[in-house]
Amino acid sequence: MSTTEWPLWEVFVRSRRGLSHVHAGSLHAPDGEMALRNARDLYTRRQEGVSIWVVRSEDLWASTPDERDSFFDPAIDKIYRHPTFYDVPEGVEHL
């Protein structure tokens, strides 16, 4: 093992056209180009993807469990935000 640890990267893979990139995992790499290549070797070796994004883990800002109440609970009783009051025409599959 090397003595200096490479930075950590988060990997996002789009499985096929039309879908979004989804978080696949993380890995170590010295820079972005190598991170892309490592991601290709680690996360797309069974044809899982058609596109890869990598981003330095330290550049991601994440919500914390402590903030759960203030972030997410206020949405619980706002049922009018869900489009459940519309009549859906027959035969519409992807709504």
Partner 1 sequence: MNPHADYVLGLADDALITAQRMGWWISRSPQLEEDVAMANLGLDQLGQARALLTHAGALEGEGRTEDDLAYFRDERDFRNVHLVEREQDDFGVAMARLLLWSAYQTELYAALKQSADETLAAIAAKAVKEVAYHLDHASHWVERLGDGTEESHVRMQAALESEWPYLAELFDGDWVDPALVEQGIAVDPRMLEHPTLATLSRVIESATLTVPEVGPAVGGGRRGLHTEQMGYLLAEMQHLTRSHPGATW
Strand, helix or coil for residue 33: helix
Q: How far is the CB of 29 from partner 1 (least distance, A)?
A: 7
Q: Is the dihedral of CA 3, 29, 44, 11 positive or negative?
A: positive
Question: Which positions from 6 to 45 touch partner 1 by CB under 8 A, shown as an x/- string?
Answer: x--------------------xxxxx-xx--xx--xx--x
Structure tokens at 55: 């981003």
Least distance to partner 1 from the beta carbon of 42, Å?
Answer: 5
Task: Give me the count of residues in the chain.
Answer: 95
- Choose between 48 and 91: whose C-beta lies nearer to partner 1: 48
